[in-house]
């Protein structure tokens, strides 16, 4: 029986094509199609007959539950993001831009665990041993018992790991460099990455070691190689940050053993990553409260409140089509707020360029930031600075109504802790502590906020001084 042995797979989106084409039908990218062997590493292969199945015992949902055994690293921010430490026998994928600090973070984690007596093996496929040693020295990790290898062949790595005592933690830096004899395609291709990752996951499950895999991300922010890798591992974390800024955020996007909305915050220094236990102070650090166009957003990341400054610049546009530029927020969401301001609040922005920036390079994904964005925009347009001790949060609907958001009490508490006496929040917000009623302004419709900030609906750019709110 003749069987098609090869297929053609897009390296960008993993769409499978029957023959080679220049442009991927799935994602529209050019020159991303590579010949691939679909059976490689899956144990099938031509000529092999599958073994006969054996029935397994079925059990009930109720019964004893074992807490996943964890190894805390002692790096609190890392443990927070992973949900309390690395789970034994699990595979973790850490993605991030090149140069963001993945290797640094993992070397620090390796050193910390090694100091606690764990056996840690660091396999680097990207750097030579000397380079990794140099980094370890810089991080003051050179005196630990972390074992190093510069290797990219999956079979060799597995043979090395199986020798001697079972490791507690294995770090593979990175999955894009892995290649296996089982697959015929070139290193870095979808098949090679998949086969390599599969083998490492199998090793984790069999031995109970935690395997941490490093993956690079493509320009649109996904882990390069097949998306399927994210489905195979137990947890996916992204290490994010702006190259121009010092702090980095470890964000959990998938976690089979813990929460997915937690973040860990770090600051990159000349001695490696430093934990930031109070991120709000960091993001509000260089604040100029007197300038118009800046509003402090009381946000949440998982269970943790974070205050961050939202900056807007609204200026008359010399262009026919005014510019809208956003950093750190969703641009579609900005368009929506601008439309609501135009349609329901009488704020004319069609002739203005609008720039929006989240201070410090932080990325806000919560809809609760709508109110702070609107406040910053109106403040900039009116040329009136917002009160320095006020925070803003609330979701804005297309009708111009302001909707309550969750965690009101926590947001207010964090604001109070950092000296913000006042808050502008949706009316009908639940869980407002009685002690905090004083400085609160409850807003029902966005138009009310505009009036509060600019005094009247149509008074852009006239006088200076403080707005009422
Ligand atoms: P690295 O961990 O190599 O990034 P990745 O593995 O994600 O590609 O980190 C690279 C950057 O971090 C590099 O630009 C230098 C900087 N860095 C510091 O600022 N301080 C340090 O102590 C270390 C080790 C790196
Ligand atoms: Mg690296």
**CA count, 13 A, side-chain hemisphere, 457:** 11
| Tens digit of each residue's pLDDT (9 = 90 or more) over 299-311 | 998 888 999 999 9
Q: Given a cut of 80, is residue 224 above it in pLDDT?
A: no
Q: Is 210:90 a contact under the CB 8 Å cutoff?
A: yes
Task: Enumerate residues 6+ apart whose C-beta is below 8 A from 105.
Answer: 78, 94, 239, 248, 250, 266, 273
pLDDT score of 91: 96
- Mean predicted confidence (pLDDT) in 71-87: 92
CB-based contact 276:282 (threshold 8 Å): yes
Gyration radius of the chain over CA positions: 26
- 69 neighbors 87 (Cβ within 8 angstroms): yes
Q: Summarize the confidence of residues 110-128 as an average pLDDT.
A: 94
Residue 412 has pLDDT above 60, yes or no: yes
Across the range 386-393, mean pLDDT stands at 94
- Measured in Å, residue 126 CA sits from the centre of ligand 2 at 7
The structure tokens 């610049």 sit at: 313
Nearest to 454 by CA among 346, 333, 325, 317: 346
**Higher local confidence (pLDDT), 132 or 246:** 132
- Is pLDDT above 80 for 241? yes
Per-residue tokens: 292: 């118009």
pLDDT at 102: 94
Question: Which residues are placed with Cβ below 5 angstroms of ligand 2, an ion?
Answer: 103
The model's pLDDT over 17-62, given as tens digits with 9 standing for 90+, comes to: 888 888 888 888 888 888 877 666 555 555 566 678 888 889 888 8
- Chain position carrying tokens 């349609």: 343
What is the average per-residue pLDDT within 417-439? 82
What's residue 397's pLDDT?
96
Name the residue of 93, 94, 98, 99 to mutate for ligand 1: max ligand atoms within 8 A of Cβ.
99
Dihedral over Cα of 120, 126, 129, 134: its sign: negative
Q: Which residue reads 């502590």 in tokens?
A: 433
Average pLDDT in the 86-109 region?
Answer: 93
Q: Which distant-in-sequence residues (6+ apart) come within 8 Å of 131 by Cβ? A: 124
Distance from the CA of 430 to the center of ligand 1, in angstroms?
A: 44
- Pocket of ligand 1 from Cβ distances under 6 Å: 96, 98-104, 135, 138-139, 268, 270-272
Ligand 1 atom closest to 135 (CA): 24
Work out which ligand 1 atom sits closest to the CA atom of 243. Answer: 14
The model's confidence at residue 468, banded by pLDDT at 50, 70 and 90, is: very low
Name the band, by pLDDT with cuts 50, 70 and 90, for residue 371: very high
| pLDDT of residue 464 exceeding 60 | no
From residue 438, how far is each of 112, 147, 403, 433, 466 by CA, in Å?
46, 58, 21, 10, 20
**Residue matched to tokens 């996951």:** 201
The reported pLDDT for the residue numbered 4 is 55
In this predicted model, which residue has the larger pLDDT, 217 or 95?
95
Q: For residue 102, give the ligand 1 atom closest to its CA.
A: 7
Model pLDDT, residue 173 = 92
Q: Which of 395, 400, 404 is nearest to 340 (CA)?
A: 400
Report d(CA 120, CA 132) in Å as an integer: 14
Calculate the alpha carbon distances from 23 to 19, 227, 292, 432 in Å: 11, 19, 48, 55
Tell me the CA end-to-end span of the chain in Å, nearest whole number. Answer: 78
pLDDT higher than 90, residue 190 = no
What single DSSP character describes residue 96? E
How far apart CA 361 and CA 396 sit, in angstroms, is: 23
Mean pLDDT of the chain: 87
pLDDT beyond 50 at 469? no
Given a cut of 60, whether residue 174 has pLDDT beyond it is yes
- Determine which residue's CA is closest to atom 8 belonging to ligand 1: 99
Q: Are 418 and 281 within 8 A, CB to CB?
A: yes
Which ligand has the shortest distance to the CA of 125? 2
DSSP H helices, 154-304, are 154-162, 190-207, 228-232, 279-283
How far is CA 303 from each of CA 74, 174, 264, rounded to the nearest angstrom?
20, 31, 12
**pLDDT higher than threshold 60 for residue 459:** no
Backbone CA torsion sign across 444, 445, 447, 449: positive
Helix, strand, or coil here: 50? Answer: coil
The residues that bridge with 315 in the sheet, in sequence order, are 353
The CA distance from 444 to 440, in Å, is: 13
Q: Which residue's C-alpha comes closest to atom 18 of ligand 1?
A: 270
């Amino acid at each position: 029986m003749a069987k098609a042995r090869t297929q053609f797979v897009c390296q960008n989106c993993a769409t499978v094509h029957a023959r080679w084409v220049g442009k991927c039908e799935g994602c529209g990218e050019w020159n991303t199609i590579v010949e691939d062997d679909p059976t490689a590493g899956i144990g099938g292969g031509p000529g092999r007959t599958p073994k006969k199945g054996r029935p397994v015992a079925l059990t009930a949902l109720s019964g004893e539950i074992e807490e996943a055994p964890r190894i805390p690293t002692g790096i609190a921010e890392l443990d927070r993001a992973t949900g309390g430490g690395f789970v034994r026998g699990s595979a973790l994928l850490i993605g991030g831009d090149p140069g963001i600090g993945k290797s640094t973070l993992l070397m620090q984690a390796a050193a910390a665990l090694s100091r606690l007596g764990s056996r840690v093996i660091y396999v680097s496929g990207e750097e030579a041993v000397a380079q990794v040693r140099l980094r370890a020295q810089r991080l003051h990790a050179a005196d630990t018992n972390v074992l190093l290898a510069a290797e990219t062949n999956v079979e060799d790595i597995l043979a090395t790991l199986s020798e001697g005592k079972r490791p507690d933690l294995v770090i593979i830096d990175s999955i894009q460099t892995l290649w296996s004899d089982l697959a015929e395609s070139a290193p870095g291709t979808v098949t090679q990455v998949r086969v390599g990752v599969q083998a490492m996951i199998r090793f984790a499950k069999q031995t109970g070691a935690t395997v941490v895999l490093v993956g690079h991300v493509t320009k649109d922010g996904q882990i390069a190689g097949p998306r399927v890798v994210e489905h195979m591992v137990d947890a996916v974390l992204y290490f994010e940050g702006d190259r121009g800024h010092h702090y980095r955020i470890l964000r959990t996007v998938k976690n089979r053993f813990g929460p997915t909305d937690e973040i860990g915050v770090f600051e990159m220094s000349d001695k490696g990553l430093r934990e930031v236990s109070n991120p709000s102070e960091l993001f509000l650090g260089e604040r100029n409260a007197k300038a118009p166009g800046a509003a402090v957003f009381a946000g949440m990341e998982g269970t943790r409140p974070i205050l961050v400054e939202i900056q807007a610049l609204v200026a008359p546009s010399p262009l026919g089509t005014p510019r809208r530029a956003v950093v750190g927020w969703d641009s579609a969401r900005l368009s929506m707020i601008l439309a609501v301001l135009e349609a329901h609040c009488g704020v004319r922005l069609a002739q203005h360029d609008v720039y929006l920036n989240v201070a410090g390079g932080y990325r806000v994904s919560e809809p609760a930031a709508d109110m702070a964005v609107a406040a910053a925009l109106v403040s900039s347009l009116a040329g009136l600075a917002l009160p320095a001790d006020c925070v803003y949060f609330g979701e804005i609907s297309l009708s111009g109504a302001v909707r309550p958001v969750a965690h009101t009490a926590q947001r207010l508490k964090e604001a109070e802790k950092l000296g913000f006496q006042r808050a502008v929040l949706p009316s009908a917000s639940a869980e407002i502590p009685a002690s905090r009623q004083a400085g609160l302004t409850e807003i029902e419709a966005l138009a009310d906020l505009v009036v509060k900030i600019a005094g009247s609906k149509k008074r852009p750019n006239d006088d200076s001084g403080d707005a009422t709110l």
